[in-house]
Structure 1
Amino acid sequence: MSFAAQIKIPATYMRGGTSKGVFFKLEDLPQEAQVAGKIRDQVLLRVIGSPDPYGKQVDGMGGATSSTSKTVILAKSTQENHDVDYLFGQVAIDKPFVDWSGNCGNLTAAVGAFAINNGLVCAKKIPENGICTVHIWQKNIGKTILAHVPITNGQVQETGDFELDGVTFPAAEVQIEFLDPADDGEDGGAMFPTGNLVDTLEVPNIGTYQATFINAGIPTIFLNASELGLDGTELQDVINSDTKILEKFETIRAYGAKQMGLIQDISEAANRQHTPKIAFVAPSKSYTSSSAKEVKAEDTDLLVRALSMGKLHHAMMGTAAVAIGTAAAIPGTLVNLAAGGGEREAVRFGHPSGTLRVGAQAIKENDQWVVKKAVMSRSARILMEGWVRIPADSLK
């Protein structure tokens, strides 16, 4: 009996924000995987270790959570005035499926560093000491992102004293600017796909909820915690150990996706796990974070909890933070109202691991809300680099 040999693929394992994933240069992938399609998905699934009915991804690089089951493919940009094209694949854990429907804001923080380290950024742009601004074209959503990467002695600086709740060790701060983060009319319509800041979402056999639907950073459904019987201070174990509430959230998400115009039938939500996100908000109150850190009510403007790939996130997805900052800047959304209402250009919210500040610039043009950019700080670090190995029959 003959067995398939293993093949080696150059790769880098990186943390970006509160996520980590396997990064590839497009040209380093096997020829068959350099184009979108079945073979590319099979390669990434095998690298990560999915599908895994045990839910552990032991036989791959994944960490068996939505935050650690991620892949990134980068190439020199085909877009004018951009350095790098960034394509993100969210790998399902228990299904043979890679979701290409959205961005990962956390891993965006690592894209600039990878691009610099791998020759995807013109050497003339990189200072000996200072900040290198990497212009990123996010291919999943067709948006421009700027990553301001610190450089010391001509090299990407990864260590530092910037602390990010949800990440154990301090590192160098990387400021990320999401330019024009709202949807421009494709895949579900404008920033507010229904035209309303607040809608009524009816979910058969479950309930009727107020909801803010927004396409900014990533399509997101915001609900009031109180209408769900929650208070906004919940940690992962409370939600993720309750199969009934997880099923409830997934059903609400499916009906919300349909109302946003992202799917035509609720059954399609099962094959669109990455988007939309679903989150719930509440006014500020004191709570103890997952690291036993005391978060005082006065330290935050509001509380937000968000689910990713069917589970409560341990901190906050970067793209969802963009949605939070954008919605908070627009008077009348559920996020804005939970933060106390009124106009604001920045908000600090509490999440399971601590707090995060995100800013957004929103203005009205022709009686429509427009967001010019959203800004947040993250950090990134190379964890390992070399090759990943997968059986050659992954290419069949």
Structure 2
Amino acid sequence: MSHLPQLRIPATYMRGGTSKGVFFRLQDLPEFAQQPGRARDALLVRVIGSPDPYGKHTDGMGGATSSTSKVVIIAKSSVPEHDVDYLYGQVPIDGDFIDWSGNCGNLSSAVGPFAIANGFIDPARVPRDGSCTVRIWQANIGKTIVAHVPMSNGEVQETGDFELDGVTFPAAEIALEFLDPADEGEDGGAMFPTGNLIDELEVPGIGTFKATLINAGVPTIFVEAAALGYDGTELQPAINEDKAALAKLEAIRAAGAVRMGLVDDASKAAARPLTPKVAFVAPAKDYVASSGKHVAGNDIDLLARAISMGKLHHAMMGTASVAIASAAAVPGTLVNAAAGGGTRDVVRFGHPSGTLRVGAEVKQADGQWVATKAVMSRSARVLMEGAVRVPQEQIASG
């Protein structure tokens, strides 16, 4: 029996923020995978090593967590006044599909460095030293991200002293601006899709919860930690080892997806596990982060925990950070209340790995709240570059 050789595809494995993913240039993908569709998804799912019933991604590039099972496709931008199109795919560990419904805020920090290193930016615009501005079109949701990438001796600076809780080693700081982050792309809708700052969210078989439903960075359902029996200081084991808790949180996510107009039936939420997110918030208090670091309640404005792909995230998704900051800036939301009320354009919240500071600008227009910009800092680094190998027969049978 003859066997086809593996496909060899140029790729870069990168860390961006607290996530990792496999980055591709669109033109480097096989011709059959340069267009959206099942063939492209089958290829990229196999790159990651899903579906894996063992939950380890042993035979692929994935890391068997929601933070490390990601793919990115970068192309010359099709949108005027932008440098690159950035398309992000979340690969479920146990699924044979890719969820293209949202963005990854963490990996957004790696797009600028990748674009510069791979020749997408006019060399005349790239300083030898200083900062290079890269305008990114986030193709999943149709939004603009501006990355300010540090340069040193004509190359992207990757090392530095910027520390990011959730990442072990320091690196160079990359500032990101998420412009007009309210998600009006795939699903449309306002920043608060129900028109309310707080809704009564009925979850069949579970109960009714006060919830703030927001489209900013990523569609997110915020509930109070106390309503779930938590105090907001929980770390991963407390949630991820409790199957009943995960089922309750997924039911809340599904009910919120219907209320936000993202699906027309709760049963359809499982087909888009990336969005919406569900998160719970609480007033600030002292706690010990997963690293053993002591976080003082006086150093943060509130506590926040978010679920990603069915599990408590080890830190905080970048897109959910935008949602937290945007909601915190609007008086009357559950997030704003947890932060102590009032008005604010910067929030520092505590997450399982430590703390994060995010800025958000909001305004009212025609009686509706609008988020105009969110700002945060991340770091990024190339971990490996070269080519991935993919078994052709297993793509065909996938």
Q: In structure 1, the residue corresponding to 2:193 is in which secondary structure?
A: coil
Give CA deviations for 1:322-363 in whole Å, capped at 9, x if unaligned. Answer: 000100111111100100011100000000000000000111
The C-alpha deviation readout for 1:137-184, integer Å capped at 9, x for no partner, is: 000000000000000111000000000000000000000000000123
- CA RMSD for the aligned pairs? 0.9
User: SS of the residue aligned with 1:112?
Assistant: helix
- Aligned 8 A contact 2:48 2:62 in 1: yes
Alignment-derived partner of residue 194 in structure 1: 194
Matched, 1:22 2:22: yes
For residue 32 of structure 2, what is the amino acid of its counterpart?
A: E
Q: What letter is aligned with 1:255?
A: A
1:197-227 CA distance string (max 9 Å, x none): 0000011211110000000000000000000
1:223 and 1:74 map into 2 onto residues whose CA distance is: 35
The residue matched to 1:106 in structure 2 has which SS? coil
Q: Match of 1:57?
A: 57
Q: For the residues of structure 2 that align with 1:140 and 1:184, how far apart are their CA atoms?
A: 11
Q: Which residue of 2 aligns with 1:264?
A: 264
Q: How many residues get paired?
A: 396
In the alignment, which residue of structure 1 is the partner of 2:182? 182
Contact in 1 for aligned 2:15/2:107 (Cα 8 Å):
yes
Does the Cα contact within 8 Å between 1:39 and 1:394 map onto a contact in 2?
Answer: no
C-alpha change, 1:342 and 1:180, in structure 2 (3 Å) is same
Is 2:48 the counterpart of 1:44? no
Which residue number corresponds to residue 354 of structure 1? 354
The aligned runs of 1:297-336 (5 Å cut-off) are: 297-336=297-336
**Distance apart, 1:18 and its partner CA:** 0.1
Residue 214 (structure 2) aligns with? 214
Q: Is the 8 A contact 2:140 2:185 kept in 1?
A: no
C-alpha deviation, 1:367, in angstroms: 1.5
> What is the match of residue 115 of structure 2?
115
With the length of structure 1 as denominator, give the TM-score of the two structures: 0.99
Q: For the residues of structure 1 that align with 2:371 and 2:309, how far apart are their CA atoms? A: 27
What is the distance in 2 between the residues matched to 1:185 and 1:99?
Answer: 15
SS in 1 for 2:336: helix
Taking a change above 3 Å as real, the CA distance of residues 184 and 45 of structure 1, as seen in their structure-2 partners, is closer
Please tell me whether residue 77 in structure 1 is matched to residue 60 in structure 2. Answer: no
Is the partner of 2:315 in helix, strand or coil? coil
Does residue 238 (structure 1) correspond to residue 238 (structure 2)? The answer is: yes
Could you tell me the TM-score, scaled by structure 2's length?
A: 0.98
The letter of the residue matching 1:5 is P
The residue type equivalent to 1:217 in the other structure is G
Query: Counterparts of 2:141 and 2:394 in 1: how far apart (Å)?
Result: 28
Report the alpha carbon displacement of residue 2 of structure 1 after superposing the two structures with TM. Answer: 2.0
**Structure 2 CA distance for aligned equivalents of residues 106 and 87 of structure 1:** 13
| Deviation per residue, 1:297-337 (Å, 9 max, x gap) | 00100000000000000000000000001001111111001
- Cα distance in 2 for partners of 1:188, 1:368 equals 15
Change over 3 Å in CA distance of 1:15–1:185 after alignment to 2: closer
Using the alignment, how far apart are the partners of 2:184 and 2:98 within structure 1?
A: 24
Match of 1:274 in 2: 274
Shift of 1:186: 5.2
Q: How much identity, in percent, do the aligned residues show?
A: 69
Matches within 5 A, 1:120-199: 120-184=120-184, 187-199=187-199
In the TM superposition, residue 366 of structure 1 has moved relative to its aligned partner by: 1.7
Counterpart-to-counterpart distance in 2, 1:72 and 1:305 = 25
Map of 1:369 onto structure 2: 369
What letter matches 2:67 in structure 1?
Answer: S
Q: Is the contact made by 2:74 and 2:86 (CA closer than 8 Å) also made in structure 1? A: yes
Kept in 1: contact 2:140–2:186 (CA 8 A): no
Q: Deviations over 1:209-256 (max 9, x none)?
A: 000000000000000000000000000011000011001111111011
Q: Secondary structure at the match of 1:181?
A: coil
Aligned-residue offset at 1:370: 1.4
Q: Does 1:66 align with 2:94?
A: no
Cα distance in structure 2, aligned partners of 1:370 and 1:205: 34
| Aligned-pair CA distance for 1:393 | 2.5
Aligned partner letter, 1:27: Q
Residue 30 of structure 1 deviates from its aligned partner by 0.5
Task: Indicate the SS of the match to 1:212.
Answer: strand
Q: Secondary structure at the match of 1:178?
A: strand
Distance (whole Å) between structure 1 residues aligned to residue 2 and residue 323 of structure 2:
51
What secondary structure sits across from 2:67 in the alignment? helix
Structure 2 stretches of 5 or more lacking a match?
none
SS state of the match for residue 175, structure 1? strand
Gaps of 5+ in 1: none
Q: Deviations over 1:35-58 (max 9, x none)?
A: 000111011111000000011110
Misfit runs of 4+, over 6 Å: none
Give per-residue Cα distances to partners, 1:45-102, cap 9 Å, x unaligned. 1100000001111000000000000000001101100000000000010011100000
Structure 2 residue 221 is the aligned partner of structure 1 residue 227: no
Q: In structure 2, how many angstroms separate the alpha carbons of the residues matched to 1:137 and 1:344?
A: 28
CA deviation after TM superposition for structure 1 residue 365, in Å: 1.6
Contact persistence 2:300–2:355 (CA under 8 A): yes
| 8 Å contact kept, 1:188–1:261 | no
Which amino acid letter does the alignment assign opposite residue 393 of structure 1? E
